[in-house]
Structure 1
C-alpha cells in the first residue's frame, strides 16, 4: 500500500503564535515587578528573530547563550526556533573555559551573553549581543527598538531538524550536546502535558526554580503551549521567597530536583505561606530517597510527581504520578521510579541486549518518540549509546511483574568489592533513614585487599558524627557495609543542584591527598 510520506513537522515556535492569538492579554511571564502578556512576548520574540536574522542567523545556525534566567534569555529560545536556528544554552554557572569548549564543539555564529559575564564573552571570539548594559556588545533591548514586531511566520522545518543542543550534566568527562529536534520535542511537550501536569490551563501558574538552560526550560515550554504564566524569582535560591511567590501567584506547578524539594520542604517558610494551590511538584534529574519523599509528602500532601529520564530522552522514560506517592510505611512501590511514559517502550536488557524477565537486574534501555537524534559531532558516544535501535541509559535496575521500574543506580556508580557487585543507592537509602543524616553519598574507592571498598560521605543535621557502622549493620548484608564513614559540612553539587558522584569522588581524593591518606 503506497501512502504519501512527509517529514515536515510543526516548527515549535508556532506554539507561541497560537497562544498569543488565543490569550493576547493573559500574563506570560512575571519577573519581580515586571510583567509581559502573551502578545507582548510574541512581539518581542518576533523582533528578536529579525534582529538575529540581521546578524546572519538562519536555519541550522547555532546561537550560544550564557545567561541566568530572565525574559531575554527565554525569548532567545523562541526567536531561534522561529528562524529554524538551533538554541545552545550553557549552564551559566560554568567557567569561561567551559563556554569556550561549548563554542568549539557547536561552532555558533553568535553569542547572547548576560552583562555579568564579560570574561565568558571575551574568551569565545564571537559576535555578541548583550543582555543588560555591557561593554562587550550591544544591548538586546536597545537593538530591538529598531525592528518590526508584526507576526513573523516560523521557518519550515523537518521532523529531524535540530532545535536545541541540550548539554548533558557531565557526570563523567565533559558534557555532551544532545540534539533535540522539532519533531521529537513536539512529542515530548504533548507527553509531558499528559503524564506530568494533566488538566493544566491558562488558569494555572508555574514557578521557575531551576535554570531554563536545562530541564526547567523543557518544562516551561509546556506552559507556553497551555498559556500558563511563568514566574521567575529574583536573585539566588531563597526558600522564603519561593514560598512567598507560591502564595502570591497561587502557583500550581513547579519543576525541580530532589535536593531542591528537600531544601524547600525542610525550610521553616513552608509553614509560613499558603501552598494549597500546588497540584504538581515535579522532581527529576536524580532519584529521590524514600525518607525525603515522606518528609515532603507530610508537608505538601499528594502533589509530588517523579519522572525518570535523561536529557537524551528529554525526561520521557518513566513517571510516578502523585496518586502513587503514598506516604504509608510498607508502601508497595517504595523505591520505584514508576511506569513507562505514554508512547515510550522501556526494557531491562543484559550486556548482549537481550530482554531480562521481571526481577532481574540489567540496564534500562528505551525507544520511542522522545529519544534524541544523537550527540552533536560525537560518533564514538553515539556508537556506545545506541544498540539495535535502543538508547542505553547507563542506569541499572529491574522491572516488577506489573511493569513498574526500580533503579539500582548508575552503571558507573557500581563498584566490586571482594568479587561482589555493590550498588551505592541501596546503602544510601538505609543511611538516610537515620534521624541525624541529611545527605549522603556512597562511592567505591580502590583497596589493595578487596579491590574496592565503600566510603560513605555524610552530612548531618546538627554537625555531629553519629556512630553508623553498627546501626547500619542491622539493615544490610555485611559485605555491603562501607569501610569508612566521612562527615562533611556539605556535599558538592552540579550547577543544576544534583549530587554527582564524580564531584564527590574528586573532593574525597583531594581531601585524602591533603591528609596523607592513600
Structure 2
C-alpha cells in the first residue's frame, strides 16, 4: 500500500502547476502539434516553448521580473499568446486590457492594477493606445522613464513591435530560466478586469494554481481534450478567451484557432481550412455563420457535438433547454457550473446551468441577511473553493468574502434537490411591478422561446407609474410586438409580460460596457427614448 501511495505522489508531482512547467511539458509531449493557429501562421508547442523562452529572456534583460505588472493591449492572435506566455513564465503578472477601451478608461484600469509596463499594439480598429495615453497625460514620445501622478506605478510604454526588437544576452537567458523555476502555483498569474451592469471595472487577481484548477475542472464539460481543434472568437483579454481558450488549449494539449476580427466568409474559410472540431463562443455568431455556410460552400463536417448547435447538422442538434448553459464569472476564472456540452441533462434540469464543477462550493443565501436558503428557493449565489479569485485590486479579504470564506456574486439562483443550478438574474437587477418580483433573466428566456425572436434584453423603466417591464427584442421582420406578446402569455404571468417594447433587427444598438456586458443604465435610457407602450404596437422592427 505504501508503494501505491508513493506512486500517487510522484504522479501528482509531475502535474504542471505554473505556466513555465506547462509549456515545457507540452514541448516534450506535443512538440510537433500546433498549439495556436491564426489566419497568418501556425505555432507548434515546440516553437511556443522556444520563442517564449527567448522573449522571456528579453523581458528580463529589459528589467521585467517576477511580480512586475505588465498591461497588454492587442487583438487575438499568435502574437498575443507569445507575449502573455513569455511574461507569465518568469512570474510577471499579466494584465490583459480590452482593445475597446477609450483613453480615459485605459488610464483608469492602468491605475487600478498599478501597471508598471504597458505593451500595446500600435493601432487596431482606429485606436492608437500609446499615442492616446501620451497625448492625454502629456508624456514624452521617447523611451524616458515615465513619472506621472495620474499613473504612479507606470514607468514605460512599449509597442508590440518594440518587444520584438528587445536584445537578449546569455546572462539574461540564464536569469530567465532561474526566475521561471522559482515561480510557484501560489504566485499571481493575472489581473483580469470585469464589471457588472453598473460601477467601475474590478481588477480580479488569479494565481497560476487557482486559474489552472478552474480551467481543468471544466474541460470535460466543454468537451475539450488533446484531439480538439478549438475555435474561439472571444477576445483573449476576457476570461472567456484567456481561460476558455489559451489556457484550456495548453492544459488539454489541444490546438487553438483564433483570429483578430471574425467575419462571415473569413471565419468560415478558417473553420474549413483548419478542420476545426469544436466551435465555442457566441450563439448569435454561430447562427449568422450558419445562415451563410451554404451560400459560401464551406465544409464544416469536422465539427463535432459540443459545438454550438447552429453550425451542426440537424441530427446532432439538441432540443432547446436540454443542454446546460455554462455559467461562470471572472472571479471564478470562467465557468464553475456546467454539464457535458454534448449530452442532454435529465428532464428535471432542463434550462439549468448544470452542476457545480469539482472544487467549487455553491451556497444559495438570503440576499438580505446571508442566511442559507432552503433547497429550491431563489437566493444569492455564494461561491467558495480553491479555484476562486485570490484577491481584488484595492480590496481587502474582509471586503470580498463572508466570515466563512464565501464570495458574494450578486447573482440570483437556486439549487434543486439533484444539485442542478438555475440562474435567475442579478440581485441588483430584479425589480417589483405592483409588489410582485420580476427577474429579467426569466422574462428574457421566455421571450427567446417565442417564434421569430433571436434575442431579448429586459429591464425596468419608470414611465411615471412606477417600474414597468421593458424589453428590447431582436427579431425577424415578420415578428411584431403584438405577436411576441401573445406568445409570451403562454410562458409568463401577466405582470411579467413587457409593457414597453423596442423591436430590433440586430443587437448592435444594445449599449455595452468595455467588458462586453450589457450596460443596464444605457439599456434603460434606450428603452425610455425609443421604446413604445403596448397600446402603441408597431408592425415592424425599429431600425
Q: Distance in 1 between matches of 2:425 and 2:437?
A: 12
- The range that moved more, 51-60 or 362-371, is 51-60
Please state whether the residue corresponding to 2:209 is helix, strand or coil: helix
Deviations 1:375-429 (A, max 9, x none): 11134x9625545311111111211111111111111221111111111122222
Of 385, 388, 399, the match for 2:415: 399
Q: Distance in 2 between matches of 1:53 and 1:509?
A: 54
Q: Distance in 1 between matches of 2:307 and 2:382?
A: 23
For residue 431 of structure 1, what is the aligned residue in structure 2?
Answer: 447
Q: Distance in 2 between matches of 1:500 and 1:511?
A: 16
- 1:412 equivalent in alignment to 2:428: yes
For residue 257 of structure 2, what is the aligned residue in structure 1?
Answer: 231
Alignment of 1:20-39 (within 5 A): 20-39=27-46
Distance 1:178 1:277, change over 3 A: same
Q: How many residues align?
A: 482
- 1:461 equivalent in alignment to 2:471: no
For residue 141 of structure 1, what is the aligned residue in structure 2?
Answer: 164
Of 499, 504, 528, the match for 1:483: 499
Q: Distance in 2 between matches of 1:217 and 1:270?
A: 33
Distance 1:278 1:497, change over 3 A: farther
For residue 5 of structure 1, what is the aligned residue in structure 2?
Answer: none
For residue 205 of structure 1, what is the aligned residue in structure 2?
Answer: 229
8 A Cα contact 2:361 2:383, kept in partner: yes
Please state whether the residue corresponding to 2:76 is helix, strand or coil: coil
What's the CA shift for 1:96? Answer: 1.8
8 A Cα contact 1:280 1:304, kept in partner: no
Distance 1:509 1:50, change over 3 A: farther
8 A Cα contact 1:44 1:144, kept in partner: no
Distance 1:297 1:276, change over 3 A: closer
For residue 73 of structure 2, what is the aligned residue in structure 1?
Answer: 66
- The range that moved more, 439-448 or 75-84, is 439-448
Q: Distance in 2 between matches of 1:103 and 1:17?
A: 31
Please state whether the residue corresponding to 1:429 is helix, strand or coil: helix
For residue 373 of structure 2, what is the aligned residue in structure 1?
Answer: 356
For residue 368 of structure 1, what is the aligned residue in structure 2?
Answer: 385
For residue 180 of structure 1, what is the aligned residue in structure 2?
Answer: 206
What's the CA shift for 1:510? Answer: 5.6
Alignment of 1:128-167 (within 5 A): 128-132=157-161, 139-143=162-166, 152-153=177-178, 154-167=180-193
Scaled by the length of structure 1, the TM-score of the pair is 0.84
Q: Distance in 1 between matches of 2:506 and 2:286?
A: 17
Q: Distance in 2 between matches of 1:434 and 1:440?
A: 10
What's the CA shift for 1:236? Answer: 1.9
Q: Distance in 2 between matches of 1:385 and 1:443?
A: 28
8 A Cα contact 1:48 1:144, kept in partner: no
Q: Distance in 1 between matches of 2:387 and 2:105?
A: 27
Q: Distance in 2 between matches of 1:295 and 1:455?
A: 32
Please state whether the residue corresponding to 1:408 is helix, strand or coil: strand
Alignment of 1:167-316 (within 5 A): 167-197=193-223, 200-201=225-226, 203-214=227-238, 215-219=240-244, 220-233=246-259, 235-269=260-294, 272-279=297-304, 281=306, 298=314, 301=317, 306-316=325-335
8 A Cα contact 1:208 1:254, kept in partner: yes
Q: Distance in 2 between matches of 1:447 and 1:50?
A: 61
Q: Distance in 2 between matches of 1:279 and 1:386?
A: 42
Distance 1:331 1:193, change over 3 A: closer
Q: Distance in 2 between matches of 1:370 and 1:314?
A: 7
Distance 1:68 1:295, change over 3 A: closer
Q: Distance in 1 between matches of 2:312 and 2:434?
A: 38
Q: Distance in 2 between matches of 1:105 and 1:364?
A: 26
- The range that moved more, 271-280 or 484-493, is 271-280
- The range that moved more, 144-153 or 257-266, is 144-153
8 A Cα contact 1:208 1:216, kept in partner: yes
8 A Cα contact 2:501 2:531, kept in partner: no
8 A Cα contact 2:70 2:95, kept in partner: yes
Q: Distance in 1 between matches of 2:102 and 2:282?
A: 22
Deviations 1:421-459 (A, max 9, x none): 11112222222222222221111112443x311111112
What's the CA shift for 1:251? Answer: 1.5
TM-align CA RMSD: 3.1
Distance 1:489 1:428, change over 3 A: same
Q: Structure 2 regions of 5+ residues with no counterpart?
A: 1-15, 140-154, 533-543
Scaled by the length of structure 2, the TM-score of the pair is 0.80
Q: Distance in 1 between matches of 2:177 and 2:400?
A: 41
8 A Cα contact 2:324 2:351, kept in partner: no
Of 72, 84, 91, the match for 1:77: 84
Of 507, 514, 517, the match for 2:526: 507
8 A Cα contact 2:470 2:527, kept in partner: no
Please state whether the residue corresponding to 2:392 is helix, strand or coil: coil
Q: Structure 1 regions of 5+ residues with no counterpart?
A: 1-8, 133-138, 284-292, 514-518
